[in-house]
Amino acid sequence: MTNRMPITLGLCALGTIHALSGAQGVYEKGPRQSFEVTNTERVPFAPGGTIRLDNSYGYLTVEGWDAPEVEITVTKSTASYYEPSQQQSAEQLFGQVRVAAERRSDKELTISTICPARHRFLPKASRSVTVEYRIHVPRDSRLVVHHDNGYVWISDVTGDLDVRSHTGSMIVMLPDAGTYAIDARTRLGSVSSDLTGKSLSRLSQFLVGSHFDYTSQTPKRRVFLRMGRGTIEILQDRP
């Protein structure tokens, strides 16, 4: 009796090892990769209105066009790399970051990025999912942007601009024929411009920032730019 127990236990253990090996074989093996999903939404919107972007992060591109509508293309991708077999669970993260467009009136549209509240034991959704926005707006729209961190590109928009970002890089391409009053400032970083204006650098005990002012003879458009930590470039969009 005493001799049979070790043999029986050994056979059980061996069977368990084979069962686990077989279960692991079900999972697909391959190079780790990032997964992504892209959605496009179009909203009718008359020229001359105000478009607000709230709480965006990642890569933001806004371009003016002649169509009387706003086109919003959003690509979400996983910030980490996963095994091919983990695609379904990795893509569940995409549902935690929502981009919603709301027409508050015929002249006002808000595009909001909504992330779940941060839990101290879980990673913030915005750290797990990278978002790239490509947005087309009527050319003479007024644009108000509150961006968290990342990259911002604005081009071919002839209305007033109010663009603010906490961290990253901001490039604003102004149509060559425009007449502007520009106020651009960084708390920590630089401001550069094709236009000839007044540039100042601020130096305090903790922060080094820059300030650029430009006002044409007959300003018709206001450009207000703010960056916490990063750079601002103001360029003329010549044909």
pLDDT at 170: 98
Residue 205 lies in a domain: yes
pLDDT at 127: 72
Residue 204 lies in a domain: yes
Residue 9 lies in a domain: no
pLDDT at 180: 86
Most confident residue range from 33-47, 116-130, 171-185: 33-47
Percentage of residues in the chain having pLDDT higher than 70? 77
Q: Under the phi-then-psi rule, with left for phi > 0, alpha for psi from -120 to 50, and beta for the rest, what region is 156?
A: left
Q: Are strands 180-193 and 208-215 parallel, antiparallel or unpaired?
A: antiparallel
Q: Are strands 36-44 and 129-138 parallel, antiparallel or unpaired?
A: unpaired
Residue 18 lies in a domain: no
Most confident residue range from 51-60, 77-86, 118-127, 212-221: 51-60
Residue 223 — very low, low, confident or very high, per pLDDT cuts 50/70/90?
very high
Instruction: Say yes or no to pLDDT of 165 above 80.
Output: yes
Please give the residue range of the domain that contains residue 168. 30-237
Domain count for the chain:
1
The structure's pTM equals 0.79
Residue 136 lies in a domain: yes
Instruction: Say yes or no to pLDDT of 174 above 50.
Output: yes
Instruction: Say yes or no to pLDDT of 219 above 90.
Output: no
Residue 222 lies in a domain: yes
Residue 17 lies in a domain: no
Instruction: Say yes or no to pLDDT of 6 above 70.
Output: no
pLDDT at 81: 84
pLDDT at 117: 62
Q: Given the structure tokens 């101290």, which residue do they identify? A: 120
Residue 233 — very low, low, confident or very high, per pLDDT cuts 50/70/90?
very high
Instruction: Say yes or no to pLDDT of 199 above 60.
Output: no
d(CA 20, CA 27): 12
Are 164 and 145 in contact, with CB atoms under 8 Å apart?
A: yes
Instruction: Say yes or no to pLDDT of 205 above 50.
Output: no
Residue 15 lies in a domain: no
